[in-house]
């Protein structure tokens, strides 16, 4: 049986953190050596995006989900519940839940590997000049004329860059093509183009 089928059966076709049945996908809990039903869980899009720090934390969502899911017998669910509770530990309900949650030494070491217990709950997101959150595939407009290093190309203010890609390890940078050339652009020099602004 494929891993996804095993997780769907185990979770009764619902997110293993919040029980939502929408946009489910296998989430591989980092770090891991092998991909199996111990190290992977089934998550909805919202839980996955927030677990991966690609979306701001929604405290109400987690307050409804974690006090129940933290008691799961599945190691991966326990680890993610511990990590999310740590990121929300400034809220009294999360601190109380964290006090009750017990992980054995092996699971605790795995949970701590992400460093969530040492950081605050803030999320580093790619944001444009107006603080709008950028996603891979977005279209942006340059707010300043830019000289492209190592090239004679000058990208004029107002240039539209379609289908951008986020630079994974640097939230101040995105990649996009201008005149057929893939370049790195600083997010502070772009403005996200919203669907209603497109011609």
DSSP 7: H
Q: Are 96 and 8 in a shared domain?
A: yes
Q: Are 80 and 150 in a shared domain?
A: no
Q: Are 40 and 97 in a shared domain?
A: yes
Q: Give the Å distances, CA to CA, from 16 to 25, 66, 177.
A: 11, 10, 39
As a whole number, the mean pLDDT across the chain is: 87
Q: What are phi and psi of 182, to 5 degrees?
A: -80, 120
DSSP 153: -
Asked whether residue 132 is domain-assigned, the answer is: no
Q: What percent of the chain clears pLDDT 90, i.e. is strictly above it?
A: 50
pLDDT at 149: 76
Q: Are 10 and 90 in a shared domain?
A: yes
What is the number of domains present in the chain?
A: 2
Residue 196: band (very low, low, confident or very high) from pLDDT cuts 50, 70, 90: low
Q: CATH code at 164?
A: 2.30.30.40
Q: Are 159 and 84 in a shared domain?
A: no
The two three-digit tokens of residue 10, written as one number = 């185990």
Residue 120: band (very low, low, confident or very high) from pLDDT cuts 50, 70, 90: low
Q: Are 9 and 98 in a shared domain?
A: yes
Distance between start and end Cα atoms, the chain? 48
Q: Are 89 and 144 in a shared domain?
A: no
Q: Helices 75-87 and 59-69 sit at what angle, rounded to 10 degrees? A: 140
For 14-61, how does the pLDDT look when each residue is reduced to its tens digit (9 = 90+)? 999 999 999 999 999 988 888 899 899 999 999 999 998 888 889 999
Residue 198: band (very low, low, confident or very high) from pLDDT cuts 50, 70, 90: low
User: Quick check: 135 pLDDT over 90?
Assistant: no
Q: Where does the chain show beta strands of DSSP type E?
A: 25-28, 40-43, 140-142, 146-147, 154-155, 160-161, 165-166, 173-178, 181-186, 190-192
CA dihedral 116→188→173→80, nearest 10 degrees, is 20
Asked whether residue 133 is domain-assigned, the answer is: no
Domain span at 92: 3-112
Q: Are 24 and 61 in a shared domain?
A: yes
Asked whether residue 145 is domain-assigned, the answer is: yes
Q: Are 146 and 81 in a shared domain?
A: no
Asked whether residue 162 is domain-assigned, the answer is: yes
Q: Are 17 and 87 in a shared domain?
A: yes
User: Quick check: 118 pLDDT over 90?
Assistant: no
Q: Are 21 and 100 in a shared domain?
A: yes
Q: Are 104 and 164 in a shared domain?
A: no
């Amino acid at each position: 049986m494929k891993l996804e089928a095993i997780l769907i059966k185990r979770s009764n076709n619902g997110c293993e953190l919040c029980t939502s049945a929408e946009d489910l996908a296998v989430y591989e809990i980092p770090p891991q050596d092998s991909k199996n039903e111990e190290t992977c869980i089934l998550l909805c899009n919202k839980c996955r995006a927030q677990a991966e720090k690609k979306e701001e934390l929604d405290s109400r969502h987690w307050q409804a989900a974690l006090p129940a899911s933290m008691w799961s017998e599945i190691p991966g669910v326990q680890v993610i519940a511990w990590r999310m509770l740590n990121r929300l530990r400034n809220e009294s309900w999360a601190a109380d839940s964290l006090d009750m949650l017990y992980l054995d030494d092996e699971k605790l070491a795995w949970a701590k590997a992400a460093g969530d217990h040492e950081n605050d709950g803030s999320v580093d997101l790619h944001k444009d000049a107006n603080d709008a959150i950028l996603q891979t595939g977005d279209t942006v407009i340059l707010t300043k004329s830019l000289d492209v290093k190592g090239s004679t190309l000058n990208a004029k203010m107002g240039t539209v860059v379609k289908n951008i890609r986020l630079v994974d390890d640097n939230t101040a940078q995105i990649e996009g093509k201008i005149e057929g050339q893939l370049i790195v652009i600083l997010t502070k020099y772009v403005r996200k183009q919203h669907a209603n602004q497109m011609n």
